[in-house]
Every structure is written in C-alpha cells, then in structure tokens.
Amino acid sequence: MSALESNVISTVDQSTDRTWGSSAGSPPAAVEISGAQNSAPKGVHVTDRALKRIRIAMAKENISPDQGGLRLGVQGGGCSGLSYNIRFDTQPRERDRVYDYDGVRVFVDPKSFIYLNGMTLDYEETLMRQGFNFINPNSTKSCGCGSSFSG
C-alpha cells in the first residue's frame, strides 16, 4: 500500500451548499491544461490541505511533479455501486482532463469525470480519523463505509 492509499478516506457530502472561507481549506485555482470541452465551469477541485498531503505522499514515493501526478477516478463496485479510486500515475492518458494545482497535476479520465465534475478533494485530520475526503455533490446515495456511492 502506498503512502497515498494509506491516507484515503472516501466520504460523500450530499450538500452542495459548502461555503469556502479564507481558511486553509479553500480550494485553490486550477488551470486545466488539456481535455475536451471546457463548457462546464465546475471541474475538479483540490483544497490546500489536500495539496499539502499529496506533496508529502509524492515525496515519500519519490515522485516529482514533473514525472507524474495524481489520478482520481471512479470504478464499479462497493456497497452503492461505484467507488472512488486515488493513486499516482506517471503521465496522463490521451483523453484525460489534466488540472494543474500549483505544480501538482491531477488526471481524470473521461468516464470518471462524469461523476467527479464539481467534486472537491479535501484532506481531514482529526483525533478520530485522517485521510482524503471526496466531497461530491453528484452523489445521490452513499453507504456507511463512506467509500462507495451512486451517482
């Protein structure tokens, strides 16, 4: 298990009314490097807290931002039908949407983008748990484990 995978907590927030203040959790601006159609202004967002943890995990795995990036995806399975997937990848695929968050590249394949458009990747660190959270307004149902959803 990689350093990144050991810190994954996939949760679903069915509330789309999340206000980002000036705290460290506010999502930074992203630049979409490539990808088809830019008609949807939503995209995929990554908070500053998540970026910090991604950089730490990349350093532990000896991956430089020039060499690779973070792949966010959705795959079939789990209690509710779909589950989140997060891992490092060496390069984007041909049809991926590629986002650059202050030097951290995020890759999203076209099928996963259908479910992840508008999603925010955050990092939570409390006394009870720590890990990445998928805050996804597209989710219509989630299970108790928090790593599965339906869209």
Q: How many domains does the chain have?
A: 1
* Domain-embedded: residue 151: no
* Domain-embedded: residue 150: no
pLDDT mean across residues, the chain: 75
pLDDT tens column, 95-112: 999 999 999 999 999 999
CATH, residue 118? 2.60.300.12
pLDDT tens column, 19-70: 233 334 444 555 555 444 444 448 999 999 999 999 999 999 999 888 899 9
* Close Cβ partners of 54 (under 8 Å, ≥ 6 residues apart): 4, 46, 70, 104
Q: For residue 74, what are the domain limits?
A: 5-14+26-33+42-135
* Domain-embedded: residue 145: no
* Close Cβ partners of 112 (under 8 Å, ≥ 6 residues apart): 72, 73, 74, 85
**Confidence tier at 151 by pLDDT (50, 70, 90):** low
CA–CA gap between residue 14 and residue 135 (Å, rounded):
8
Q: What is the mean pLDDT of residues 143-150?
A: 52
CA–CA gap between residue 132 and residue 34 (Å, rounded):
25
* Domain-embedded: residue 111: yes
**Tokens of residue 4, six digits:** 């990144």
pLDDT of residue 140: 72
| Percent of the chain surpassing pLDDT 90 | 47
* Close Cβ partners of 115 (under 8 Å, ≥ 6 residues apart): 74, 82, 136, 138, 151
* Domain-embedded: residue 109: yes
* Domain-embedded: residue 20: no
Which residue is associated with the tokens 């079939």?
76
* Domain-embedded: residue 21: no
